[in-house]
Amino acid sequence: MIALSIALARLHRRVAALEARLVAPTPPIVRPEEAAPVPARPPASPTAPRPRPTIARPSRPRIDFETLVGSRLPVWIGGLALVVGGIFLVRLSIEAGWLPPAIRTVLAALFACVLLAGSEGARRISATRDDPRIAQVLAGAGIASAYATLYLAAALYHLIGPATGFAIMLGVTALGLFLALRHGPPTAVMALVGGFAAPLVAGYDAAGIGALLVYLGLFVAALLALAIVRGWAWLALSALVAAFGWVGLLIALVPPASLGGIGVFLIALAIGGSLAAPRAAIARPWLRAAPVIVALVQMLALAPMLDFSALAWSFYLTLSAAALFLAWRDTTLLPAAIGAALLVTLLVALGLVQGSNATPLALPVALLLFGAGGGAASRRAPGWAVVALAGTAAPLLVAQIVAPSLLPPIGWALADLALALAAAFPAHRHRDRAGRGDLGLVGGVAVAALGLGLAVAAILPPAFAMLAPLAALGILLAAARFDPAIPQSLALFLVIVLLALALPPLSDVAQALAVSMIWEELPYLHLPPAGDAARLLVIPALALLGAGRWQRDLFGPARRIILPATAAIAIAGLYVLLKQPLAVATPDAFRSRGFIERAVLTDLTLIAGGLLWFRHRPLAMALVALALARILWFDLLGLNPAWVPQEVGALPILNAVTLHLALASAIVWRLTGLPRRSLIAALLTLAATLATIRQIAQGSLLTGPVGLSENGGYSAAMLVLAILWLWRGIARHSADLRRFGLTLLTLTTLKVFLIDASALEGVLRILSFMALGGALIGIGWAYRRFVIVTAPARSPSPPPTPVS
């Protein structure tokens, strides 16, 4: 026992010494005469577990933006430039008629083989084998060229049949899989970029839209299969993003006669992407549901091109049914079903606004689909109640607002009663969940009350309109026997009255906003009279807002919904009043005052958000987001004065477009706490600078062609701003500004090479692409070898001193 005690004490002293050495930066100096002799280590107990050695894992090297742009990105862009240069070489031979199609295809195949052989050579040459990126980018470029060759042989020249083309596609995919396993993700990236870019460069409609869609379908399927095999979620996401980008491009470019195939492809892409997402290691639920949601949004763009016909509605309803089935099969896809139920309201509104089409016939089918599907599964998750209630109430309500002449009053009354009965079904099914705030119970009762109120309002004359909210209140009171908390606040009656009285002007405002969202130039013609907006919107809404601020318990738990909705009604009324002074009601008025009116409304919204920024942050954030969205959607995209004629003023700097964007930038700079504030302000500053150059070159109307001096002015301004932001980012230690400046500098360089040099034709263009690709690869290789590799390494930490 005494020996064991001595050994245990020595072990404690050794542990204490080790802990002291781990905490202290340097070991203490022990004089030789003071050092105690090291006792012999006691024999280890045969039953004691042997401690497992701790292996220090090497830290993964951090890749910052500057290293990416300076070292890695040039090599990848250079490989892409080689592929594009090769495709341009083939295209030049086609235009000049130098070689027959078979020889062109053979040359393209040889080019791909040369690139693949170069990748293997780069792995063995002493100058490049230490930099695996060279082999990676050449292998990826070879795979991309192989896909381009397959497209030429099968779709463009019909040198091989569909079965042979499919077999070769499988072979190229297998080769890509092997090379991805051999070289890693960069090869897969280059194959993805080349495969999607090849049809665009060779001419997307050269062999017909059908052949292109078959090619894209097979290519996306191959990429998803590769992502599933390797567990590369990024590859699956990139393939789906590129495929949906192709769909958007085709919707904008192809004639209506070819849009049917695009709709079928879009449905298959959405279903296949959602099924492949979990198998490709995509963990986030919203990313799994994203393919269906994006497809639904693109269906909204496809439907107007098809004139909201029965074909367009069949596409949307088929995709919606698929979303419901997928959500029933996998709960993580429930957001897709909710998105389908919400977006159908916008589709109904746009279809009824456009006029005679299949929307009235498709409306009951959509109501039945969402009502039955969501109601049957409402007890599985709260989101299903949203599908059932929003997918029935919202489309019927918007149809009653947008197209009141679609049915006679008695017809609308019967439709609203049917809505009330349909909403009562999930409420009755969820009656055992009283007191829990169950969405099926509470939401069902609310929609049933709304339906009954609308039915009463449809058949009563305006003098008795107050009976409509009373009927709705009766439904709420009747539901108290299931859940006493439902009608707990009678103040909700005031909100119902407000909505009932505000419904006619709100419908006009909604119609004006709907047509403005599709960039109609004269939404003023759809606005209600200013007197109705003031009486029925602004004054009641401001009164309710004041009462809610004065008595905070007035609306109970519904305060979080009532006050924002009332504020939205007040903003809608103010929007109508602010549109009155300039009254842009004719094309000439839009040409002379359209941009100025729009800029004033946006600036007032942004100023209001800035004034409220430190007093009421949620409302201020909403106003700022609304103003920035208006700048993006109207001023920069749909109604940009650069392509829609609008006078902005003749003064070079003191014109509407420069002052508008400069004021927005200055306000955003001052909004501390705004996410990505410096980035948004920098983008607005860039837009203001480019708009100023455009105005100086064009005058009050900015729709003229871009001249040589104007194009040079853009490049010079972008270069100056890039250097300025780099300097400010370094001086202020702002990573956002520094990275944005570096990004703009890179874009300016590419613009000079790719756009400013666009006057080159034929062989000179090909040589410029080849030279650009080689130069960028060389820059990336030299940057890595002579800058990163030779950079002074961190001083290694001193080796630990042995424990004495």
**DSSP string across 364-421:** HHHHHHHHHHHHHTTTT-HHHHHHHHHHHHHHHHHHHHH-GGGS-HHHHHHHHHHHHH
Residue 506's nearest CA partner among 537, 534, 535 is: 537
Q: Which two tokens stand for residue 215?
A: 């090619």
Half-sphere exposure at residue 753, Cβ-oriented, CA atoms within 13 angstroms: 19
Contact residues for 13 (Cβ-Cβ < 8 A; gap 6+):
none
Give residue for tokens 């939401």: 443
More confident residue, 199 or 445: 445
d(CA 138, CA 117): 9
* Distance in angstroms (rounded) separating the CA atoms of residues 801 and 789: 30
Please, what is the average pLDDT of the chain? 77
Q: Is 693 exposed, middle or buried (0-12, 13-18, 19+ CB in 10 A)?
A: buried
Least confident window among 197-201, 264-268, 443-447, 776-780: 776-780
Write out the two tokens for 563: 């006050």
Mean pLDDT of 285-290: 86
Among left, alpha and beta (phi > 0; psi -120 to 50; other), residue 48 is beta
Angle ∠(311,316,320) on CA atoms, nearest 5? 145
Compute the 3-state secondary structure of the chain and give helix, strand, coil in percent, each to the nearest 5. Answer: 75, 0, 25
Q: What is the average pLDDT across 742-757?
A: 70
Q: What is the DSSP secondary structure assignment for residue 784, as one 8-state letter?
A: I
Residue with tokens 């609304």: 626
Angle formed at CA 86 by CA 84 and CA 91, multiple of 5 degrees: 90
Higher pLDDT, 743 or 775: 743
pLDDT for 653 = 84
- 87-101, 566-580, 621-635: segment of lowest average pLDDT: 87-101
68-71, Cβ contacts within 8 angstroms, sequence gap of 24 or more: 69/742, 69/743, 69/746, 70/780, 70/783, 70/787, 71/780, 71/783, 71/784, 71/787, 71/788
710 or 245: whose pLDDT is higher? 245
Asked if residue 684 lies in contact with residue 668, where contact means CB atoms within 8 angstroms, the answer is yes
Is pLDDT of 89 > 50?
A: yes
In a 13 Å sphere around the CA of 785, the CA atoms on its Cβ side amount to: 15
**From the centroid of its chain, how far is CA 691?**
26
In this model, does residue 207 exceed pLDDT 80?
A: no
**Which amino acid, one-letter code, is at 6?**
I
The H-or-E segment that residue 190 falls in is: helix 185-202
Q: Are 641 and 648 in contact (CB under 8 A)?
A: yes
Angle of the 587-611 helix axis to the 656-670 helix axis, nearest 10 = 20
Domain spans of the chain, in order of start:
609-704
Lowest-confidence segment of 89-103, 211-225, 559-573, 691-705 by average pLDDT = 89-103
Summarised one tens digit per residue, pLDDT across range 24-73 is 454 444 444 444 454 444 554 444 445 544 444 444 445 555 555 545 55
* Distance, CA of 531 to CA of 146 (rounded, Å): 68
Distance of alpha carbon 311 from its chain centroid, rounded?
27
Distance in angstroms (rounded) separating the CA atoms of residues 449 and 451: 5
Q: What is the mean pLDDT of residues 400-429?
A: 87
Residue 98 pLDDT greater than 80, yes or no: no
* Model pLDDT, residue 791: 44
In this structure, the number of other CB atoms found within 10 A of the CB of residue 343 comes to 18
The per-residue pLDDT for 226 is: 78
**Helices (runs of H) and strands (runs of E) counted in the chain:** 29, 0
Closest Cα partner for 652 from 693, 596, 698, 696?
A: 696
pLDDT value at residue 804: 41
Confidence of residue 803 (pLDDT cuts 50, 70, 90): very low
The residue with greater pLDDT, 282 or 9, is 282
pTM: 0.54
Dihedral, CA of residue 412, residue 418, residue 420 and residue 421, to nearest 10: 170
Give the pLDDT score at 286. 83
Q: Which amino acid is at 452?
A: L
- CA–CA–CA angle 779, 783, 784 (5° rounding): 125
pLDDT of residue 395: 92
DSSP state of 586: S
In this prediction, residue 514 has a pLDDT band, given cuts at 50, 70 and 90, of confident
**Residue 625 contacts by C-beta under 8 Å, 6 or more apart in sequence?**
none
pLDDT at 46: 47
Spatial CB neighbours of 458, under 8 Å, sequence gap ≥ 6: 409, 410, 412, 413, 416
Distance (Å, whole) CA 697 – CA 714: 11
pLDDT-derived band at 629, boundaries 50, 70, 90? very high
